[in-house]
Amino acid sequence: MAMGKHIVKCCICHRIRTDRGWEPEHSRDAFSRDEISYSHGYCPTCYEEALMQIKARVAQTALRTAS
């Protein structure tokens, strides 16, 4: 049974993960649309950024509770 393509799409910059790396969404034209199932996630760049934001928020909260 064919499951079709399952691709990961970054929920921030909307790039998709391909065999060649993270590419703009329009490169999905290489695939037949019907066979695609999307999974939303983070590309490495946006993951780093999200992590930084979380860390900054945690640091702020820690400062606030400390004072």
Minimum CB distance to Zn ion smaller for 7 or for 12:
12
Q: Are 14 and 7 in contact (CB under 8 A)?
A: no
d(CA 47, CA 64): 26
Strand 36-41 and strand 21-23: the pairing is unpaired
Minimum CB distance to Zn ion smaller for 12 or for 36:
12
Among 7, 8, 36, 46, the residue binding Zn ion under the rule CB under 5 A is: 46
Q: How many positions of this chain bind Zn ion (CB under 5 A)?
A: 5
Binding residues (CB under 5 A) for Zn ion: these are 10, 12-13, 43, 46
